[in-house]
Structure 1
Amino acid sequence: MKRIWKHLVRKYNFLGIEKAETASSTRARYELAKHLIELRITAISYFRDFCLILFGIFSASFGVKGFLLTNKFIDGGATGISLLTNAVTGIPLWIMLISINIPFILLGSKIVGREFAIKTAMTISVLALVIATVEFPNVTDDKLLVAIFGGFFLGAGIGLSVRGGAVIDGTEVLAIYLSRKFGTTIGDIIGIINIIIFSVAAYFLSIEIALYSMITYLSASKTLDFVVEGIEEYMGVTIVSSHSEEIAKMIISDMERGITVYSGKRGYGKTGESKETNIIYSVITRLELNKLNTEIKKIDPNAFVVINSVKDTHGGMIKKRRLKHEEI
């Protein structure tokens, strides 16, 4: 009797071990598949960003060297300051692009994120390299065409870079910082900066060049808006997902953004089947939209995401502020 009992105990114990091993193996395969999916999404995202930024660099370089530089036309922002300094002092443009954008890159690392700052630093460095080494033909001497199409190609380049998660012109980062500090709109700050730039251009170059440069700026800004599909400075993102807790944690911890969580119901199917779920709402800058979409796809590729333009925000918390004990 004892032998039979021991045999049964041993048999079922082995079955338990086999079940445990099977469960462990299934879990391991699930984790491996999940990591492979995340790796694939990340690789596709980085490749897309690389292509967008590369096309943006060559488009901006063509606009600058093929149209603006030979006619001493300028644009707004850091690019305009670089072109103006080059026209007045003769310092090579590629040196000015790097020098003027360094403070904005450091500021971007603080207020947007390290990944954005690294992307932007690499983008501006490659832009400077292309401008220094690649020759572009002088397309036309017609000043109006130079102003319009120089701005068009420059604006397209900036827009493509923004869609790739970087910027060619760092003054937008400064505008975001000042808007948070003084409570003004980003558009107003960019406008003030450009008024100063064009006023200086009118004094040192000529009023005619300054007026044509304003046309260049308008052409570039409209093209930029078109390329990024009219994205405003701030974006409101609504996320409906069965993995809402993981997404909320990612936004708060990884992106350091505030969120609002609503209790709601999902309705779908012919019978109107409904299911309770948490709905996440967050406000981010357009520079972070690409990263947010990538991270959401890693967690839940089937998440329902609605993106709206937000003109401005007042009160509340957009960016999470680190507590002193978190910095230790």
Structure 2
Amino acid sequence: MVNQLLNIPNSARAKKIIIWRQVKDVLFIGIGVVMASIGLKGFLLPNGFFDGGAMGVSLLLEILTPIDLSFLIILVNLPFIYLGYKQLSFRFAVKSTLAIFALALLVHYIELPIITADKLLIAVFGGFFLGSGIGFAIRGGAVIDGTEVLAIQVSRRSSLTVGDFITVFNVFLFIVAAFLVGLETAMYSMLTYFSASRTVDFLINGVEEYIGVMIISDFADDIKSKVTYDLGRGVTAFKADGGFGEKAKNPDRNVLFTVVTRLEVTRVLTEIEKIDPKAFVIQYPIKDTKGGMIKKRPLH
């Protein structure tokens, strides 16, 4: 009875969910490892380009030393795996270790033809494949580039945010690279990093980036009904006290809040304008959501 009231799944259903999630994790990580190895062996390595983050450090060391890249990938990422174990979980560390070892094996053993000699295409598509690999691995709950794990650790101990640390880390890396391997190679590698980072963002956030929409209107009930029943989106109404000018004489009103995908925003705004062209509408991006009517994007 308690389980029914709390909506707790039975053991068979829970086991099925866990198994399916594990299968998806393995699939995502496998795709990520293959994509990253294509980016490395087919584009970046034959042309001496590199990326940002821990993978960038590995690639730069491969250019400057006789050590094979497969060993460098493991050695450079080992400290980050340990930090991941301390900060996140043992499971995360195990999955990341297996993913990094699988990538190192593919980089060591597979041979791919040089796909193009055009430096711009090498930078863009090398970054695309490498970023796809990193993004799919993250969707599977692992990392093949541990910079973000270090960034989390630093952000907890300083005023730097995760994004600030990654930016500073990569700026320093590309400055060092400009002195060691040449300015042109460093500049193309910066383009590789930009392509990879944009690809990672797209794979994690996708086209279904969430937008929070807050609506203040004298016709809140009509807008709420329209968004709920016609557009099929959940709406939360907050009791608010405020106003401006004549509206301050009757300040009690409902403020509406809904979350939609980026592709749905235009339609929502159009329907609001039909009902109340003077409605005050606020939009802001939402990184992730949980529960309710919104689909959860799996990360870890």
TM-score (norm 2): 0.67
Change in 2 beyond 3 A, CA 1:207/1:139: same
Equivalent position to 2:143, from 160, 164, 167: 167
The alpha-carbon deviation at position 203 of structure 1 amounts to 1.0
Aligned residue in 2 for 1:241 = none
How far residue 183 of structure 1 moved from its aligned partner, in angstroms, is 2.5
| Local SS of the residue matching 1:180 | helix
Counting only pairs closer than 5 Å after superposition, residues 105-184 of structure 1 correspond to structure 2 as: 105-184=81-160
Q: Matched residues in 1 for 2:196 and 2:41: separation? A: 15
Q: Deviations over 1:174-202 (max 9, x none)?
A: 00110111031111100111111111111
Classify the secondary structure of the residue corresponding to 1:74.
coil
Q: Match for residue 190 of structure 1? A: 166
Q: How many residues are aligned here?
A: 215
Deviation at 1:305, TM superposition (A): 6.0
Alignment of 1:253-272 (within 5 A): none
Q: Is 1:68 aligned to residue 40 of structure 2? A: no
Unaligned runs of 5+ in 1: 1-26, 28-32, 232-267, 270-285, 294-302, 310-328
Query: 2:10 is paired with a residue of what secondary structure?
Result: helix
Deviation at 1:165, TM superposition (A): 0.4
Alpha-carbon distance between aligned partners in 2 of 1:132 and 1:110, rounded to the nearest angstrom: 29
Query: Scaled by the length of structure 1, what TM-score is found?
Result: 0.61
Aligned equivalent of 2:16: 40
Q: Which residue of 2 aligns with 1:304?
A: 292
The separation in 2 between residues aligned to 1:106 and 1:206, in whole angstroms, is 33
1:86 aligns with 2:74: no
Q: 1:48-59 alignment to 2 at 5 Å? A: 48-59=24-35
SS at match of 2:43: helix
Describe the SS at the equivalent of 1:179: helix
Q: Counterpart amino acid of 2:89?
A: G
Q: Deviations over 1:77-124 (max 9, x none)?
A: 110000000001121000000001000000011111111111111110
Letter in 2 for 1:229: N
Q: Which residue of 2 aligns with 1:209?
A: 185
How far apart, in 2, do the equivalents of 1:305 and 1:177 lie?
33
Q: Structure 2 vs 1, CA of residues 106 and 85 (structure 1 numbering), >3 Å: closer, same or farther?
A: same
- Selected match of 1:97 from 64, 73, 81: 73
The alpha-carbon distance between structure 1 residues 161 and 308, as it changes in their structure 2 partners (threshold 3 A), is: closer
**1:223 and 2:211 equivalent?**
no
SS in 2 for 1:228: helix
Specify the alignment match of 1:255 in structure 2: none
Query: 1:128: how far off?
Result: 0.4
Structure 1 residues 274-285: aligned runs within 5 Å: none
Once the 2 structures are TM-superposed, how far is the Cα of residue 126 of structure 1 from its aligned partner?
0.5
1:247-306: CA deviations, max 9, x gaps?
A: xxxxxxxxxxxxxxxxxxxxx99xxxxxxxxxxxxxxxx9xx8xx97xxxxxxxxx6365
Q: For the residues of structure 2 that align with 1:195 and 1:85, how far apart are their CA atoms?
A: 17
Deviation at residue 230 of structure 1 after TM alignment: 5.8
C-alpha RMSD over aligned residues: 2.6
